[in-house]
Amino acid sequence: MPFYEYTANESPGCPHCLAGFTVLQRLRDPVLSACPQCGTAIRRVISPPSLVSGQSDLKPSRLEQAGFTQYRKIGKGVYEKTAGKGPGVISAD
């Protein structure tokens, strides 16, 4: 579920919506149109996604704990499993 940021459309609002607030919502949930505390009209603000940089979170032990499988290329069309479940080697042959 993504986090959505909201802010007041106009100045007569409460400190909560004037400063902006974040809500955890399902993708299928309707967009909020009023502040949950004061009822002032609000709008959803587009914000940049949170990204992980570097390779620190791609360690095989962490990937396996999260339920992912990782392969690394060892030759032309040949991949070796480094973490997770699945065949030890995948080849194009």
The model's confidence at residue 9, banded by pLDDT at 50, 70 and 90, is confident
Q: What is the pLDDT of residues 51-65, one digit of tens each?
A: 766 655 677 778 888
The DSSP code sequence of the chain is --EEEEEESSSSS-HHHHH-EEEE--TTSPPP-B-TTT--BEEEEP-PPP---SSGGG-HHHHHHTT--EEEEEETTEEEEEESSS-SEEE--
Q: What is the mean pLDDT of the chain?
A: 84
* Sequence ranges of the domains in the chain: 3-45, 57-91
Tokens of 92: 């194009």
pTM: 0.50
